[in-house]
């Protein structure tokens, strides 16, 4: 009999992980609950050290270690600091206004405390995970009383957490680490102490106070002898969730394209051999898979179809089988033919500019999956029981995103426009084609992480492999430090008659040096790289009349950009390229350039 999925890894599938991630040091600011977390982190098989600051203790101006030494900061406010002991219990049930006043007091206390514990995030931009107040397991006033009412302590704490989440939204590089959701998923009863402790203590089941009850007439049992305690297991699950969030923030092993087969993969049965009315039901996992694919598209992940079938037959069956649940146009590209599937995948990867290491292929046939792996060993494949697919697609860290930008949300439409553009290219000379696009470019300078385009710029830098002159990945903390030292991100947006590509390039300058140039391969070959370098060189020359240096570091994947500077008049120099003071590259005539410092 097949083994069940381990419940402690259920929320964080590991099947798509390629490279390990082991946090080594964290900052922790919080209550006694944070002390317990710090101890458990230190006792991990691969320990994560921490510098712990208890809430209420004034924070020094900066952390004990350089900010770069920390993988993340964990912030957890104690409910007792917001809600005084017995304050809730002492109110009368009819005192509605009293509960509202108490909530306003707790809210004000929470806001003051939150501003203090987020000080290092605000000052240094350190990646921060915020733990909400632990929500009580039950309404202490009574199970028959109103649920969504401030007189219910469960709802009271939930509303405080909503307010805390709104406070967090004002900070950069801060994310909600929902310990309540994790506890609910695995069982609050195994870990939360409010079955015997005050609701505002908000900690875990433990025997810390057992020693004080040994002189009773009837000796007391330990809490762990009465209540089934699985704090260690639940911490393990919570730690997996935290590491998964860190993987997603860093976009480690990120999936950018999910390609699926059709028959017995996207739906049950074989469309070409079964009358449409006789096809098996689409209830259950098929509709769950369709919905999952749409959520992936919403995150900015591209979808594709690779199927051995007649496209005309498939199109005729699509409406009857899938209906409006999932449209063919939701897929950025498809190959529905009788060609070998590795060939189809190669064509699609070239068409959408995605590398094999960022592809996940789903197919019910082990033979086809083996063929794909033989041709592209870096492609991850998924098959077997379809009941596992939705969970893996939606919950794996590698398909998660820390933020969905406007460009990400429109990625499918942009790629479809790119494919249409390439088809048009084949019918014209290069000059005619470029002129027909009516390209418009805008340049923006970013010198602070609060800039509205910074998030997209950071996303682009950290997910681009091919047109990336150094391959460097950036954290928000590193960017904040670089801005403080005088670095500037020059970002550009591009649009043509087919689509608005959004923010597609970043040049990072410090002094007279272009330290890194990153550009989406979706616009490669349009002259955008020439126009961008020309404008940035002009900007640098306006700051100081001197030679301009450009760093270049070869990586296994950045072949497309290695000669970008050579074609713009730069000369080879140690570590990169140099452009003499007298030279400024020209903006291509087919690009209308508007510089915008906003």
CATH value of 422-595 in 3.30.70.1350, 3.30.465.10, 3.40.630.30, 3.20.20.140: 3.40.630.30
CA distance 477 to 506: 18
Kindly state the tokens that stand for 170.
Answer: 């004002």
Q: How confident is the model at residue 2 (pLDDT cuts 50, 70, 90)?
A: low
Stretch 514-522: mean pLDDT, rounded?
93
Crossing angle of helices 430-437 and 411-425, rounded to 10°: 140
pTM as predicted:
0.81
Locate the domains of the chain by residue range.
20-250, 257-401, 422-595
CA distance 543 to 511: 9
- CATH code of the region 257-401: 3.40.50.1000
Angle (CA) 483-486-489 rounded to 5° is 55
CA distance 71 to 128: 9
Positions of E strands within 322-411: 333-337, 359-362, 380-382
What burial letters (b/e) apply to 39-59, b meaning 16+ CB within 10 Å?
Answer: ebbeeeeeebebbbbebeeee
- State pLDDT tens for residues 133-162: 999 999 999 999 999 999 999 999 999 999
Q: How confident is the model at residue 598 (pLDDT cuts 50, 70, 90)?
A: very low
Q: How confident is the model at residue 417 (pLDDT cuts 50, 70, 90)?
A: confident
Stretch 182-198: mean pLDDT, rounded?
90
3 state SS of 422: helix
> In the chain, pLDDT over 70 holds for what percent of residues?
99
- State pLDDT tens for residues 433-487: 889 999 999 999 999 999 999 999 999 999 899 999 999 999 988 999 999 999 9
Evaluate whether 20-250 and 257-401 have a shared fold.
yes
The residue behind tokens 């498809």 is: 334
Q: 594 — phi, psi (to 5°)?
A: -120, 115
- CATH code of the region 20-250: 3.40.50
């Amino acid at each position: 009999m097949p083994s069940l999925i381990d419940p402690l890894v259920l929320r964080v599938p590991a099947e798509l992980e390629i490279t390990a991630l082991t946090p080594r040091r964290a900052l922790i600011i919080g209550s006694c609950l944070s002390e317990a977390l710090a101890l458990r982190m230190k006792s991990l098989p691969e320990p994560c050290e921490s510098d712990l600051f208890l809430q209420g203790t004034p924070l020094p101006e900066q952390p004990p270690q350089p900010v770069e030494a920390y993988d993340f900061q964990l912030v957890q406010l104690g409910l007792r600091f917001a809600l005084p002991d017995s304050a809730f219990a002492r109110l009368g049930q009819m005192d509605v206004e009293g509960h509202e006043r108490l909530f306003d007091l707790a809210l004000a206390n929470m806001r003051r405390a939150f501003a203090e514990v987020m000080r290092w995030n605000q000052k240094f931009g350190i990646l921060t995970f915020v733990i909400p107040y632990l929500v009580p397991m039950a309404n202490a006033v009574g199970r028959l009383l109103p649920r969504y009412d401030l007189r219910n302590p469960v709802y009271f704490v939930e509303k405080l957490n909503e307010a805390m989440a709104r406070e967090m939204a004002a900070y950069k590089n801060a994310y909600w680490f929902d310990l309540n959701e994790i506890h609910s998923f695995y069982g609050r009863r195994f870990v939360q102490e409010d079955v015997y402790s005050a609701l505002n203590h908000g900690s875990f089941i433990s025997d810390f106070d057992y020693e004080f009850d040994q002189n009773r007439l009837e000796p007391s049992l330990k809490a762990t002898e009465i209540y089934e305690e699985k704090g260690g297991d639940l911490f393990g699950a919570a730690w997996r969730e935290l590491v998964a969030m860190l993987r997603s923030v860093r976009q480690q092993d990120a999936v950018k394209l999910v390609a699926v087969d059709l028959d017995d993969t996207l739906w049950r049965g074989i469309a070409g051999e079964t009358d449409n009315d006789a096809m098996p039901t689409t209830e259950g996992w098929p509709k769950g898979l369709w919905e999952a694919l749409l959520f992936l598209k919403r995150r900015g992940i591209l979808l594709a179809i690779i199927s051995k079938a007649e496209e005309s037959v498939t199109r005729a069956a699509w409406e009857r089988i899938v209906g409006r649940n999932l449209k063919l146009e939701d897929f950025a590209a498809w190959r529905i033919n009788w060609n070998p599937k590795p060939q189809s995948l190669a064509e699609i990867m070239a068409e959408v500019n995605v590398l094999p290491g960022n592809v996940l292929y789903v197919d019910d046939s082990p033979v086809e999956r083996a063929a794909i792996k033989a041709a592209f060993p870096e492609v991850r494949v998924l098959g077997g029981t379809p009941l596992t697919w939705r969970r893996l697609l939606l919950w794996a860290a590698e398909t998660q995103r820390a933020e969905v930008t406007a460009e990400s949300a429109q990625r499918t439409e942009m790629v479809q426009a790119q494919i249409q553009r390439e088809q048009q290219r084949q019918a014209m000379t290069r000059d005619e084609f470029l002129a027909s696009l009516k390209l418009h470019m805008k340049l923006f300078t970013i010198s602070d992480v609060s800039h509205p385009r910074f998030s997209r710029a950071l996303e682009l830098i950290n997910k681009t492999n091919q047109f990336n002159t150094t391959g460097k990945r950036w954290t928000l903390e590193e960017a904040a430090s670089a801005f403080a030292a005088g670095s500037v991100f020059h970002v550009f947006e591009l649009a043509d008659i087919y689509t608005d590509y959004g923010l597609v390039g970043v040049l990072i300058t410090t002094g007279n040096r272009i330290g890194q140039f990153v550009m989406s391969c979706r616009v490669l070959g349009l002259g955008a790289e020439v126009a961008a370098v020309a404008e940035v060189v002009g900007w640098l020359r306006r700051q100081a009349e001197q030679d301009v240096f450009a760093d270049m570091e070869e990586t296994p994947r950045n072949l497309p950009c290695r000669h970008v500077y050579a074609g713009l008049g730069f000369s080879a120099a140690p570590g990169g390229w140099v452009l003499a003071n007298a030279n400024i590259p020209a903006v291509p005539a087919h690009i209308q350039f508007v510089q915008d410092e906003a």
